[in-house]
Amino acid sequence: MSVIKIDGNSLTIEEIVAVARRGIGVELTPSAREAIHQSHGWVEKIVDAGKPVYGINTGFGIFAEHQIPSKDSKKLSRNLILSHAVCTGEPLDDEIVRAAMLVRANTLAKGFSGVRVEVVETLLALLNKNLSPIIPSQGSLGSSGDLGPLSHMALVFTTDANDLEEESGQARYAGEIQTGKEAMARAGIGRIILGAKEGLAINNGATFSAAIAALAVDDAQTLLNACDVSLAMSLEAVKGCSAAFDERLHAARGHQGQIKVARAIRALTSGSNLIDAYGRIQDAYSLRCAPQVQGIAWETLAFVRGVIEREINAATDNPLLFDPGIAVSGGNFHGEPVGLVMDYLGIAMSEIASISERRTFRLTDGHLNADLPPMLVDRLSAAGLNSGLMMPQYTAASLVLENQTLSTPDSVHSLPTSAEQEDHNANSMTAARHTRDIIKNTAHVLAIEVYTAARALDLRLRQNPNTALGVGTQKAYGVVREKVAYQPGDAWWGPEIDQIRDLILAKMLEIPYNN
């Protein structure tokens, strides 16, 4: 993938990841360029006609009834950006900012927003030259879209006749944080003066919410794949029962997610002589019911992906312009679709971390792990002198508890703004940020399970050198041990667990199987 071409209609989550995280270049398609030109022409006709049209020659929010003279169109757009850039908090990661710039460019490329081609080309120039505006993370209600974050973004690449450096925001370029004006000059990108409708077209829409969501969808899929692998490793390590993964059992219920997980576990553990080796009739829920828990997370992810794929290709500002130049005012900026599905995904991933931690607990409990040493110390004689993997399970438990708070839905919370004109807000960006935090925590919880299960398998292999691991489990175990070696006594486990987490996020534990 050398360059991504955007047309407003076909952007994918995978392309967002490629641009946001790998710096792939972006360009407009000819059809998008034509659509943008046409919609900008419609704006010019509306301005020339002089009739009041919301967002083009009127004020905003509660000031919608105030008509603005055509001569003040540029000032209107500039004032909108300056007055709305009031966010606070730690800066968003550059990958989020890059994803948001791409989504916004794609939105404008649909040809319903009335901007000039130069506006979209400037956004793409920032992406292609790796210039990232500094965006505070807090202050968006997700409706009327992510007004604050998008305004901070616009400060960097837009200006007015005064061209004041202190009104240009901040940006990161060539590894340094500087004013937006300086960064743009160093990158060789011209800052633009916005015209009629262009300020609102840039900052109206739940774009940062959607950008975070797109990255979250990709990460969640990575973690669900890893969770299937960690489950297989734990199942073998405790000599678990195969019956709970029987194909007939899951077909009888009919949920496609649990069918998928059970199929994955059968494939990953195929050939193992540890499965069913302990003589239990059935296992605890964290093993036996894992397909039901992890399966619905897969189905939730599929639903969330569909909503976010539509959102990143949506026209989300207000008003929108339609042939032959009719401006229609509505509420496409409202972030409710993103907020709701981020809550769904956050809940699902919180449950993934929860069931994973329970398996880690079983692996370290000498009464539950099928005759392995307590805390997986190297030998029983080493217990006491060594703590083994006692503390990694503490960390996993702490992260699971944090997730339980973070996964409390954000989209059900609303406060009115703009003198009750905006009386129901989505809270979508908070939902997206919290889900991103949940996913980050879950990645570490899964890394702890994988690390713990790998150590348990080491002990099994030492107990019986003729032990055969499942074909998929063997591959996963090999990946782990290639990265970090077994250490018999207590050691600084933390950095090694971090390495396993990085393996997971790099998709190195996505063991191929026929799914």
Report the distance separating Cα 472 and Cα 451, nearest Å: 16
In single-letter form, the type of residue at position 298 comes to: W
- DSSP β-bridge partners for residue 322: 326
Q: 54 an active-site residue?
A: yes
Q: CA-based Rg of the chain, rounded to a whole angstrom?
A: 26
Report the distance separating Cα 439 and Cα 496, nearest Å: 20
> Rounded to the nearest 5°, which phi and psi values hold at 459?
-65, -35
- Is 2 within 8 Å of 24 (Cβ atoms)? yes
DSSP 8-state class, residue 91:
E
In single-letter form, the type of residue at position 153 comes to: M
HSE of 466, CA atoms in CB hemisphere, 13 A? 1
3-6 and 25-28: which strand pairing?
A: parallel
Among all chains, which residue has been given the structure tokens 């774009």? 207
> Other CB atoms closer than 10 Å to residue 112's CB: what's the count?
24
C-alpha angle 180/128/95, rounded to 5°? 75
> Other CB atoms closer than 10 Å to residue 50's CB: what's the count?
11
In angstroms, the Cα distances linking 480 to 169, 243, 270, 458, 489 are: 44, 27, 19, 11, 18
Report the distance separating Cα 431 and Cα 406, nearest Å: 9
Q: If we measure between CA atoms, which residue out of 331, 313, 303, 328 comes closest to residue 422?
A: 331
- Is 29 within 8 Å of 6 (Cβ atoms)? yes
Helix (H) or strand (E) holding 231: helix 207-237
Identified catalytic residue from 54, 173, 477, 486: 54
- Is 237 within 8 Å of 469 (Cβ atoms)? no
Question: Roughly what angle, to the nearest 10 degrees, separates helices 13-22 and 207-237?
Answer: 90
In angstroms, the Cα distances linking 315 to 42, 134, 311 are: 16, 25, 8
Report the distance separating Cα 85 and Cα 75, nearest Å: 16
Task: Just list the catalytic residues.
Answer: 54
